Amino acid sequence: MSNQVIAAVKEAGNRIVGGYAELLKMPGTARYAVGAVIASMPAPMVGMTITISVQHYYGSYSLAGALTATQAISMAIVGPVLGKLVDKFGQRRTAIPTIIVWMIAAISLITSITLRAPAWVLYCLAPFMAAIPPWGAMSRHRWTMLLKGDHIRTERALSLCGVFDEAMWVVGNPLASILAVYSGVLAFAFTGVCVAVGALMFLGAMGTEPPSQTELARKEGITRKEYRARQAAIQAKIQGEERKSSFWSAGLIAVCVTWFGLGAFQSAASISIISFATEEGMKQWTGFVFACFSFSSLIGALLYGAKSWATPLWKRFYFCLLVVNLGIATFLFAHNLWTIMLIYLVIGVCQSPTWINGNQLMLHLVPPIRFTEGMAWLNAMNSIGSSAGSAIAGVFIDRYGSRGGFGVVTTLALTSLVIAFVGFKQIRNSTEQPDLTLMPA
Amino acid at 112: S
Amino acid at 391: A
CATH for 317: 1.20.1250.20
Q: In angstroms, rounded to a whole number, what is the distance separating the alpha carbons of residues 429 and 422?
A: 13
How confident is residue 258, by pLDDT bands cut at 50, 70 and 90? confident
Residue 308 covered by a domain: yes
Q: Is residue 379 pLDDT above 50, yes or no?
A: yes
What is the C-alpha to C-alpha distance for residues 266 and 232, in angstroms, rounded to an integer?
Answer: 35
What distance in Å separates the CA atoms of residue 41 and residue 52, rounded to the nearest whole number? 17
Query: DSSP assignment, residue 150?
Result: -
Residues of the domain holding 43: 15-210+247-433
Res 373: pLDDT: 82
Instruction: State the amino acid at position 329 in one-letter form.
Output: A
Res 440: pLDDT: 47
pLDDT of residue 98: 93
Position 15 scores a pLDDT of: 64
The residues, any chain, with a CB within 8 Å of residue 412's CB and separated by 6 or more, are 261, 264, 265, 268, 389, 392
Residue 356 within a domain? yes
Judged against a pLDDT cut of 60, whether residue 437 lies above it is answered with no
343, 329 Cβ separation under 8 angstroms = no
> In this predicted model, which residue has the larger pLDDT, 170 or 437?
170
What's the CA gap between 137 and 374, in Å, rounded?
Answer: 9
Q: What percent of the chain is modeled with pLDDT above 70?
A: 88
Contact between residue 45 and residue 270 where contact means Cβ atoms under 8 Å apart: no
The yes-or-no verdict on residue 73 having pLDDT over 60 is yes
Kindly state whether residue 1 falls inside one of the protein's structural domains: no
User: Do residues 174 and 287 lie in contact, with contact meaning Cβ atoms separated by under 8 Å?
Assistant: yes
- The pLDDT confidence band at residue 242, using thresholds 50, 70 and 90, is very low
Does 222 map to a domain? no
| Residue 233 in this model has a pLDDT that exceeds 80 | no
Grouping H, G, I as helix, E, B as strand and the rest as coil, residue 11 is helix
pLDDT at residue 223, as a whole number:
74
Per-residue burial over 355-389, b = 16 or more CB atoms within 10 Å of its CB, e = otherwise: bbbbbbbbbbbbbbbbbbbbbbbbbbbbbbbbbbb
Q: Tell me, what's the pLDDT at 50?
A: 83
Q: Rg of the chain over CA atoms, in angstroms? A: 21
Whether the CB-CB separation of 313 and 360 falls below 8 Å is answered with: yes
Residue from 38, 45, 195, 43 nearest 110 by CA = 45
The reported pLDDT for the residue numbered 99 is 93
Residue 236 lies in a domain: no
Residue 65 above 90 pLDDT? no
What does 165-231 look like in DSSP terms, one character per residue? HHHHHHHHHHHHHHHHHH-HHHHHHHHHHHHHHHHHHHHH-GGGPPPPHHHHHHHHTS-HHHHHHHH
Burial of 219 (0-12, 13-18, 19+ CB in 10 A): exposed
**Which CA distances in Å does 271 have to 172, 405, 438?**
16, 8, 42
- Alpha-carbon distance of 116 to 122, in angstroms, equals 9
Q: Which pLDDT score is estimated for 197?
A: 92
In a domain, 218, yes or no: no
Eight-state DSSP code of residue 282: -
| pLDDT grade for 243, boundaries at 50, 70 and 90 | very low
- pLDDT at position 14 is 64
What is the SS3 assignment for 322?
A: helix
- Summarize the confidence of residues 199-222 as an average pLDDT: 84
In a domain, 232, yes or no: no
How many domains does the chain contain in total? 1
Which of 32-46, 120-134, 162-176 shows the highest mean pLDDT? 120-134
Look over the chain and give the mean of its residue pLDDT values, rounded to a whole number.
Answer: 80
pLDDT band at 283 (very low <50, low <70, confident <90, very high): confident
Question: Could you give the CA distance from residue 121 to residue 117 in angstroms, rounded to a whole number?
Answer: 6
- Cα distance between residue 250 and residue 253, in whole Å: 5
Can you tell me the mean pLDDT for 219-233? 73
Helix count (H) and strand count (E) of the chain?
19, 0
The angle, 0 to 180 degrees and rounded to 10, between the axes of the packed helices 250-279 and 42-58 is 40
259 in any annotated domain: yes
Q: What is the mean pLDDT of residues 23-31?
A: 87
